Structure 1
Amino acid sequence: MYSQGQAGANAYARVGVQTGVMGASPHRLIVMLYQGARQAIAQARMHQQQNNIGARGAAIGKAINIVESGLQQALNKEAGGEIAQRLDALYSYMTRRLLEANLKQDEKMLVEVDDLLATLEEAWVGIGPEVAQMTAAAV
């Protein structure tokens, strides 16, 4: 099904992702989760446009998994206070919208969730220099 070259490229990509995760700061890991969820949504949109139902469902499932098991589970609701509580509610909303988008085959819902993730990703990237300074000061 795949050529050896493509299989090698896929293996190389997996190693690259694993290496990136292992060497990443907690801040960078969250950025990677946002990027992964957005990439899965982009794939779901592409499959929606191609009427590839199974692949669309798989991509949406991947996005849901990243939001629930990655972003939502990473929240520290005690230390994060109201912000963490609001993010938790927003992640739950995103999950519901992704499920609904899959059931209704609605690309607009996918775009809505992608826009929300893009806004959060931008804010998270924006605080990167401050996080780096705090980390350096702690060391």
Structure 2
Amino acid sequence: MYTSLNRRAANAYTQVGVHSVVEGASPHQLIVLLFDSLNSALNAAKGAMLREEVVEKGLHIGKAVRILEEGLKAAVDVQQGGELAQNLIAIYDYSITQLTLANLRNDVALLQAAQDAVEPVASGWREIANVSAVTGA
């Protein structure tokens, strides 16, 4: 009982911390947070897959797909972004397909393919954040 109370308190504290970070984040920082969450979900899915934890694997892959679809892909401005926006959409769609197949086939290589596809984009966003922090932009 005591452990459960501590766990609930820790979870509540974590949620407040996450909420505070999100509330104070710029749109750019929110995208970086989405990429970080995506990476965490993909790593957790790989671990669950290797441990043969089917339910956990599905939950983490589902979270990754939601981040890609509802977060990253939804944030792309196709009207303003032109070819770059179309390329981002293609990368996100490819990754969603790889994740769906990875879940169905229980294939770590497909999970890795999705992670490899989005990592250059994530690195670019992180680099922009670093440059902005240095220049004050």
Using the size of structure 1 for normalisation, the TM-score is: 0.89
CA distance in 2, matches of 1:109, 1:7: 35
Contact 1:27/1:131, CA 8 A, preserved across alignment: no
RMSD over equivalenced CA pairs, Å = 1.9
Determine whether 1:91 maps to 2:92.
Answer: yes
Q: Structure 2: 5+ residue runs without aligned partners? A: none
1:5 matched residue in structure 2: 6
Deviations 1:31-75 (A, max 9, x none): 000011111111111111111101100110000000000000000
2:44 matched residue in structure 1: 43
AA partner of residue 39 (structure 2): R
Aligned length: 136
Q: Structure 1: 5+ residue runs without aligned partners? A: none
Contact 1:101/1:110, CA 8 A, preserved across alignment: yes
Q: What SS does the aligned partner of 1:24 have?
A: coil
Alpha-carbon shift at residue 116 of structure 1 (Å): 2.3
1:67 matched residue in structure 2: 68
2:59 matched residue in structure 1: 58
1:30 matched residue in structure 2: 31
AA partner of residue 56 (structure 1): K
Indicate how the Cα distance of structure 1 residues 14 and 46 shifts in structure 2: closer, same or farther if over 3 A, else same.
same
Alpha-carbon shift at residue 78 of structure 1 (Å): 1.1
1:121 matched residue in structure 2: 122
The alignment-based identity, stated in percent, is 38
Deviations 1:67-102 (A, max 9, x none): 000000000011111100110111111101000000
AA partner of residue 114 (structure 1): Q
